[in-house]
Structure formats: C-alpha cells, structure tokens
Structure 1
C-alpha cells in the first residue's frame, strides 16, 4: 500500500517533534517528511517522485517565510494542486486573510495543548484519506478559534 505523504515545513524543531509524536501510530499509512526552511521544502518538492498529499506550512520562518513559500508553491504548476495548510501561533485576521488570498486550504492556530494537536493531526489524516475539505469544515465547527477554512 502506498503511504500518504505529509510534508511539514517548520523551522522550530520542538514543534516538529510534537507533530511527529502526534502522528505516532500512523506510520503504516502516512510518511511524514520534515524540512526546516522554505528553501529545503522547494528542494525536497523538486526531488520527490510523488508529490505530498498535504503540506503543513509554518508562517513564521527566517529567510523565506511561509507566506513566500506558499506563493511560490501556488504559482508553480506542478505543485499548485497540493493542499497547503498554513500554521501559526497567531489568530490575527491579517494572517488568516493572507493565507486565504495566497491559496491555502486552511489556517490553523498551533495549539499549545498536545492532546489538541494530536486530535487535529488525527482529523487531518482522516481528511487526507477521504475528504480534506469536508474534514476541515468539520474541524472548524469543533474548533472555530483554531481552524479557519477557505474551501
């Protein structure tokens, strides 16, 4: 069986570890690729034989931030259809509006609670396997202060 690929782009190694722990038990179904910069993400995307099924993209990174990377991904024909979810610690409307304008599927405010992160990642896995848009809308209904959907 082909595993689904989730690409996590985040410069914070601690956050990346939390995401990996939250995905524990899904290794047979999902492969998590992690890179810590926008440049590394573009390099990996160009090298992968098959594109990721989902990109989780941290908004605030040094050098090339998540906004710039999202813009590049959505302008590049090969990557444009890959769903991207922006993630940030802020719930400011400016960032949420920018994510929508640039073509993200959703914007997630990173939870500080590990169990909430685990729930979010579990739901995203279900969405990647079935109906990401429907799953994100359901997640928004359950966590309206953490999940903003655009589809």
Structure 2
C-alpha cells in the first residue's frame, strides 16, 4: 500500500514536535515529511518521487515566509492539484485574505491545545483519504474561529 505524503513546513521546532506527536500511530498510512524552511521545502519537493497529498505551510518563517513559498509552489504546474493549507498563530484578516488570494485551500489558526491539534490532524488524514474539501468544511463548522476555507477549483 502506498502511504499518503504530508509535507509540513515549519521553522518552529516546538510546533514541529507537536505535529510529530499528533501524527503518532499513522506511520502505516502516512509519511510525514518535516522541513524547517521554504528553501528546504522547495528542495524536497524537487526530489520527491511522488507528489505530496497535502502541504501544510507555516506563515511566519524567516527568509522565505509561508506566503512566498505558497507563491513558488503555485507557480509550478506539477503541484497545481496538491492541496495547501496555511497555518499561523493568529486570525489576522490580511493573512486569511492573502492565503485565499494565493490559492491555499484553507487557513488554520494553530491550536495551542495539543488535543485539538491532534483532532484536526486526524480529521485531515481522513479527508486526504476520502474528501478533503468536505472534511475542511466540517472542521470550519466545528471551529469557525480557527478554520477558514476557500473555494478554489482544484
């Protein structure tokens, strides 16, 4: 069975550890690739044999931030149908609008509660295997102050 690939790009070591813990137990179904910068993400994407099934980008990274990385990825036609979710620590309207205008599928405010993060990641994993759009809409209705979805034709 081919494992689904999730690429997480986040420069914050603690946040990356939370994601690792949240994904524990999914190793048979998911291969989670962690990189800590936009440059490392572009390098990894150029070397992967298979496209990721989901890319999660931290908005606030040094050098190349998540917005710049999103632009680079969206310019590459190989990744046109790969869903990308932006994550940030705040629900600033400018960030949400920028994620939408750059083609992200959703914007998620990073939960400070580990169990909420684990629940979100579990639901995203189900969505990757079934219907990510429907899963994101369910998450949005459950956590309207933390999950913002956009209607982009994939």
- TM-score by length of structure 1 reads 0.99
Correspondence for 1:38 = 38
Gaps of 5+ in 2: none
Map 1:1-151 onto structure 2 (within 5 A): 1-151=1-151
Render the CA deviation track for 1:89-132: whole Å, top value 9, x for unaligned: 01011100000000000000000000000000000000000000
Deviation above 2 Å: which 4+ runs of structure 1? none
- Give the match's secondary structure for 1:78: helix
CA distance in 1, matches of 2:129, 2:145: 25
Q: In the comparison of the two structures, how many residue pairs are matched?
A: 151
Offset, 1:81: 1.5
Render the CA deviation track for 1:62-101: whole Å, top value 9, x for unaligned: 0000000001111111112110000000101110000000
**Contact conserved, 1:83 with 1:105, CA < 8 A, in 2?**
yes
CA distance in 2, matches of 1:66, 1:79: 16
Moved more, 101-110 or 71-80: 71-80
Gaps of 5+ in 1: none
Render the CA deviation track for 1:11-68: whole Å, top value 9, x for unaligned: 0011001001001111100000000000000000000000100000000000000000
**Contact conserved, 1:74 with 1:81, CA < 8 A, in 2?**
no
- Give the match's secondary structure for 1:63: coil
- Give the match's secondary structure for 2:33: strand
